[in-house]
């Protein structure tokens, strides 16, 4: 068997056939892909983000120097809508982006091994892909994505269209497998997207989503409203995230009815409900708003977040939201995370 072309990066060489005819044409194509401008975005937990940044930014600067790629990370309280995960964006030449990705995934994997026994996400990567470009990944009749699965041994799934968050024109591609399987799957997907005009026309390196509520200023929690703006417009509360409301039919004069949905970490639901429902009942009685929480296990796709819907007058919804947020802040103050 012939040796791999040394001009290719190790990550790409591992996925390429040896140089022979007609494989030589494929190798030449991959050499061209190596220098193609590329950008990918994926989700990362708040804890993993800290290890990628490093003390004083040392780790992320080192990864940029090693790879040549630009690495950007969303701010501490800027999460992808519907999740409690931050966004990391890599941009540069294809080979630079892939090397940066490998360094980051390796770092996260090593950190997770140190924290053995904890609930980690070390076995999955979630890419953010424009909805318009997902057809290139799926292929006719699902042929392309099936080929990727067979070639890489990774499990690759796209978030369902009917579960998309209104206003977010992107889907999550979840890749499950070992670090090597994830790397090879990302190489396959990224190289396919380079060829797709829908991706080049709609690709983004955005790290924030205007119109969606930012997370609370406490580590590990994000309350994000995903409803479209209604007649009431935005609620702006000092020290609180801005949230979007929806006007409901049947509003009476002088008492317009509104609804807002927050995404609440499952671990915080018990503290909001209280023993035998005491706390949530008290909030409803003092604000006049109605509060409904999605059933246990009914999570926003790809997260452990449940939906908490507040319905009532504009003033009642605002007050109930404030009380819920204050309750969660008190929980995090009692149980601070790094």
**Residue 326 is part of which domain span?**
234-334
pLDDT for the residue numbered 189: 95
Question: Are 134 and 183 in the same domain?
Answer: yes
Domain match, 73 and 191 both: yes
Which domain CATH number covers 266? Answer: 3.30.1370.10
Domain identity same for 70 and 190: yes
Closest CA to 131 of 88, 175, 154, 164: 164
Model confidence, pTM:
0.57
Q: Is residue 280 in a domain?
A: yes
Q: Which of 161, 118, 158 is nearest to 142 (CA)?
A: 158
Partners of 125 in the beta sheet? 175
Domain boundary among 202, 224, 243: 202
Residue 104 inside a domain? The answer is yes
Query: Does 140 lie in the same domain as 285?
Result: no
The pLDDT value given to residue 28: 55
Q: What is the DSSP letter of 206?
A: -
The whole-angstrom separation of Cα 315 and Cα 9 is 59
- Domain C-terminal end among 158, 182, 202: 202
198 and 77 co-located in one domain: yes
Which of 202, 223, 248 is a domain's end point? 202
Report how far residue 133's alpha carbon sits from residue 65's, in angstroms, rounded to the nearest whole number: 30
Asked whether residue 125 is domain-assigned, the answer is yes
**193 and 62 share one domain:** yes
Q: Under a CB-based contact definition with an 8 Å cutoff, are residues 320 and 291 in contact?
A: yes
- Residues 112 and 189 both lie in one domain: yes
Per-residue pLDDT of the chain (338 residues; tens, 9 = 90+): 333 333 445 555 555 544 445 555 555 566 778 888 989 999 998 888 889 999 888 999 999 999 999 999 988 778 888 788 899 999 999 999 999 999 999 998 887 666 655 444 447 899 999 888 899 999 999 999 999 999 999 999 998 887 777 678 889 999 999 889 999 999 999 999 888 876 665 555 567 775 554 333 322 223 333 322 222 222 232 222 333 334 344 333 344 567 788 888 888 888 899 888 899 999 998 888 889 998 888 887 777 888 888 888 878 888 888 888 888 877 765 555 44
Same-domain check for residues 78 and 189: yes
Q: Is residue 227 part of a domain?
A: no
DSSP 167: T
**Same domain flag for 156 and 266:** no
Residues 240 and 91 in one domain: no
Residue 246 lies in a domain: yes
Whole-number pLDDT of residue 5: 38
pLDDT of residue 203: 56
In a domain, 221, yes or no: no
Q: What pLDDT was estimated at residue 202?
A: 53
Extended strands (E) in the chain:
37-44, 70-73, 86-93, 124-130, 155-158, 170-176, 234-235, 243-244, 246-247, 257-265, 290-293, 305-313
How far apart are alpha carbons 91 and 69 in whole angstroms?
6
Residue 315 has what pLDDT? 81
Asked if residue 198 and residue 297 are part of one domain, the reply reads no
In Å, how far are 232, 246, 312, 316, 317 from 255, measured between CA atoms? 12, 14, 9, 10, 12
Residues 46 and 161 both lie in one domain: yes
Closest Cα partner for 265 from 218, 312, 228, 310? 218
pLDDT value at residue 308? 87
**How high is the pLDDT of residue 307?**
86
Domain contains 218: no
Per-residue pLDDT, 332: 63
Tokens of 298: 């009914």
Q: Which long-range contacts (CB under 8 A, 24 or more apart) does 296-300 make?
A: 296/266, 296/269, 299/266, 300/82, 300/83, 300/263
Position 220 scores a pLDDT of: 25
Q: What is the CATH number of the domain that holds 155?
A: 3.30.310.210
Number of domains in the chain: 2
**What would you measure as the largest C-alpha separation in the chain, in angstroms?**
80
Q: Which pLDDT does position 233 carry in this prediction?
A: 28
Q: Is residue 17 part of a domain?
A: no
Are the beta carbons of 189 and 152 closer than 8 angstroms? no
Query: Dihedrals φ, ψ of 289, to 5°?
Result: -95, 155
Q: Count the helix, strand and coil residues of the chain and give each as a percent rounded to the nearest 5.
A: 45, 20, 35
pLDDT attached to residue 2: 35
């Amino acid at each position: 068997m012939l040796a791999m072309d040394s001009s290719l990066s190790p990550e790409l060489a591992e996925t390429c056939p040896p140089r022979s005819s007609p494989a030589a044409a494929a190798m030449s194509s991959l050499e061209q892909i190596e220098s193609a401008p590329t950008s990918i975005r994926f989700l990362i937990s708040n804890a993993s983000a800290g290890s990628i940044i490093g003390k004083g930014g040392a780790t992320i600067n080192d990864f940029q120097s090693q790879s040549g790629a630009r690495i950007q990370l969303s701010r501490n309280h800027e999460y992808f809508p519907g999740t409690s995960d931050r966004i990391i964006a890599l941009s540069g030449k294809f080979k630079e982006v892939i090397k940066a990705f490998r360094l980051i995934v390796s770092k996260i994997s090593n950190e997770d091994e140190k924290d053995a026994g904890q609930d980690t996400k070390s076995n999955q990567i979630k890419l953010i892909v424009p909805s318009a470009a997902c057809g290139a990944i799926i292929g006719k009749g699902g042929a392309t994505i099936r080929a990727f699965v067979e070639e890489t041994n990774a499990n690759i799934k796209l978030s369902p269209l009917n579960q998309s968050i209104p206003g977010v024109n992107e889907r999550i591609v979840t890749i499950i497998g070992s670090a090597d399987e994830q790397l090879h799957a990302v190489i396959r997907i990224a190289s396919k997207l380079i060829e797709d005009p829908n991706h080049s026309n709609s690709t983004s390196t955005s790290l924030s989503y205007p119109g969606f509520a930012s997370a609370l200023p406490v580590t590990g929690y994000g309350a994000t409203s995903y409803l479209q703006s209604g007649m009431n417009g935005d609620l702006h509360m000092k020290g609180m995230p801005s949230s979007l409301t929806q006007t409901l039919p049947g509003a009476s004069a002088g008492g317009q009815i509104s609804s807002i949905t927050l995404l609440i970490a499952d671990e915080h639901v018990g503290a909001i409900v209280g023993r035998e429902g005491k706390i949530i009942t008290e909030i409803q009685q003092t604000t006049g708003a109605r509060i409904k929480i999605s059933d246990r296990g009914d999570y926003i796709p790809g997260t452990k977040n449940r939906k908490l819907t507040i319905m009532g007058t504009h003033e009642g919804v605002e007050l109930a939201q404030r009380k819920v947020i204050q309750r969660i802040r008190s929980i995090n103050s009692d149980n601070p995370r790094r």
